[in-house]
Every structure is written in C-alpha cells, then in structure tokens.
Structure 1
Amino acid sequence: MAGNRWLRPEVYPLFASVGVAVGICAMQLVRNISTNPEVRVTKENRSAGILDNHEEGQKYSQHFVRKFVHGKAPQIMPSLNNFFSDPNLE
C-alpha cells in the first residue's frame, strides 16, 4: 500500500511546491528556446554565425516583468518598511 503512504493530505503542499518549481523551469526553458536571440535550433539559423541584432536582444532582455518593476523600489512591502524605518513619520 505505497499509495496510501504518499497520497496523504500532509504531502499535498510538497507536491504543489515541486509542481510550481518544475513549471517555472519548463516555462524558462521554452522561453529560452523560442525567443532567445542567441539560441539557434535549426541548421539554417546556426549557419548564420554571430549576428549583431541589438533590437532583438533588447526585446528579449526587457520582458514584461522587468518593465513592470522598472522604477519601483526594491522592497516587498514599502509602506510597512517606511513606517518602521522613517524617523519623520509619527
């Protein structure tokens, strides 16, 4: 009865977290293979040699997540951090 040992409700969060991690890895691999300008899968693209395509590289590196967080404070909870660290707030 190995199924009863592994399919207990206590291990569901473990399965979920490992599933999310595997999903993130798979998403990054697909993103690199399909949109990275330095990865060439087909033989025709590999024979092109080194390309100087700066626009394509800029488009790859400045994806939507990076555009979303650009210019924001690198804090998880900025209002809470400011409340406890700013001496002018009382």
Structure 2
Amino acid sequence: MASSTVNRWLRPEVYPLFAAVGVAVGICGFQLVRNICTNPEVRVTKENRAAGVLDNFDEGEKYSQHFVRRFVRNKSPEIMPSINSFFSDPKL
C-alpha cells in the first residue's frame, strides 16, 4: 500500500505541482509571520492589547510602504517595457 502511494506521487511529472504548492505555502507563511510580527494593528502580548487603539501613523506608514512597494513606486507597470514599446509605438 505505501509503496504504491509513493510510486504514484513521487514521479517527475508531479514535481512542478509540489513546487507550486510549496511556493504558495511559503508566501502564505511569510505573510502570516509578517503580519504577526510587524503589523501595527496586531497585538500579541497582553501589555500591547491593553493599550487600546493607538494613533501611531508613522508605524502604519512604515508597515504599508515596505521595501517592495518603495522599489516599484516609480517603475512602469509593464513586465517587458522594451518589447511593449517595440510592438506598440508607431514607427516614424
């Protein structure tokens, strides 16, 4: 029974499925840890929960404007801008 299950699921054709599911689980885990550790609205300890609602706008700005968002802020929203401009810009 166990060997037939192993033979069924550990084939080379199933490796991309394992990779995709592994990446999805990794992204979910990263986001969960990020929210628990750095989100200003999440309070895990009893002392922080007793503080109530805080108007800490600087901490919220720091959380929402993380590195990736700052990096892509002034970039063009295209995946391949040179290929897009080659096919879409009129040739003079």
TM-score, normalised to structure 2, is 0.93
The partner residue of 1:43 within 42, 46, 50 is: 46
Describe how 1:25-36 pairs up with structure 2 within 5 A.
Answer: 25-36=28-39
Tell me, in whole angstroms, the C-alpha distance in 2 between the residues paired with 1:2 and 1:34: 39
TM-score, normalised to structure 1, is 0.95
Percent identical pairs in the alignment equals 76
1:15 paired residue number: 18
SS of corresponding position for 1:37: coil
- Alignment of 1:69 onto 2:72: yes
Coordinate RMSD, CA, aligned: 0.9
Consecutive unaligned residues of structure 1, counting only runs of 5 or more, are: none
Runs of 4+ in 1 over 4 A off after TM superposition: none
- Alignment of 1:52 onto 2:55: yes
Q: Deviations over 1:18-56 (max 9, x none)?
A: 000000000000000000000001111011011000110
Deviation of 1:2 (Å): 1.0
Deviation of 1:57 (Å): 0.4
Consecutive unaligned residues of structure 2, counting only runs of 5 or more, are: none
Tell me, in whole angstroms, the C-alpha distance in 2 between the residues paired with 1:60 and 1:54: 10
SS of corresponding position for 1:81: helix
Tell me, in whole angstroms, the C-alpha distance in 1 between the residues paired with 2:75 and 2:12: 39
